[in-house]
Amino acid sequence: MTALMATKIKQQDNDETDLAQHAITDVDAFAELYHRHITRIYRYHIAHTGNVRDAEDLTSQTFIAALEGIRSFRGTGSFAAWIMGIASKKRLMFFRGSRPEIPLEAAVQYPSPCLPTDKAASQRLELESISRALRQISPDRSEAIILTFFGGLSNAEAGGVLNKSEAAVKMLVSRGLQDLRERTSLALEVEP
């Protein structure tokens, strides 16, 4: 990560900490946080449920819980990791230990309906292969990949959600991607 990227991330985290503090009494501040994170939360839930209705339900539950608990956000980590932690708890409550088979193509296709037909078809084929492969790797590796790729979290943020160190998440993602490479013909890459 470059110094410029690290500075931008820090500024965004500070901005979101301020927004979260204002959201305690200002509905517009919470609405801004909602708009910034709705896509990542929805993608996270659709990646786990494979069902639009359930993903929408869980996304709503996540934001309701975030609004009700906004006073508990202390700003010691990023808002994205905090709300993804809520999403993870809502998912666990929803499934109570079961692990359904899901089509991950729904998670990546949202919200980009403007793909040209040939790209959409190619993407669908690739995602079907990834979806099958993700169901075949360990749940820890799969969850780390879903949090970082579908949820858009950094390794450090995903570590906060998973109660693991940044290095452990990086290792889970790396090994998970290796597992996926072995199960698919795709060239999957992760930034160092």
Q: Is residue 188 part of a domain?
A: no
Q: Is residue 121 part of a domain?
A: yes
- Which residue in this structure is represented by tokens 């996926």? 180
User: pTM of the entire structure?
Assistant: 0.70
Q: Is residue 100 part of a domain?
A: yes
CATH code for position 30: 1.20.140.160
Q: What b/e readout covers 18-50, taking b as 16+ CB neighbours within 10 angstroms?
A: ebbbbbeeeeebbebbbebbebbbbbbbbbbbb
Q: CA 171 → CA 115, 167, 179, distances in Å?
A: 32, 6, 12
Q: Is residue 36 part of a domain?
A: yes
Q: Is residue 1 part of a domain?
A: no
Residue 154 and residue 51 in contact, taking contact as beta carbons nearer than 8 Å: no
Give me 70's structure tokens: 């906004």
Say how many domains are in the chain. 1
Give me 40's structure tokens: 């990542």
User: In a structure prediction context, what are the per-residue pLDDT tens digits for the chain, which is 192 residues long?
Assistant: 555 545 555 556 568 889 989 989 999 999 999 999 999 999 888 888 777 888 899 999 999 999 999 999 988 888 999 999 999 999 888 877 554 445 555 555 544 445 556 665 665 566 566 666 777 889 999 999 989 988 889 999 999 999 999 999 999 999 998 888 887 665 555 554
Q: Is residue 38 part of a domain?
A: yes
Domain that holds residue 41: 8-183
Q: Is residue 109 part of a domain?
A: yes
Q: Is residue 95 part of a domain?
A: yes
Q: What is the DSSP string of 113-132?
A: TT--HHHHHHHHHHHHHHHH
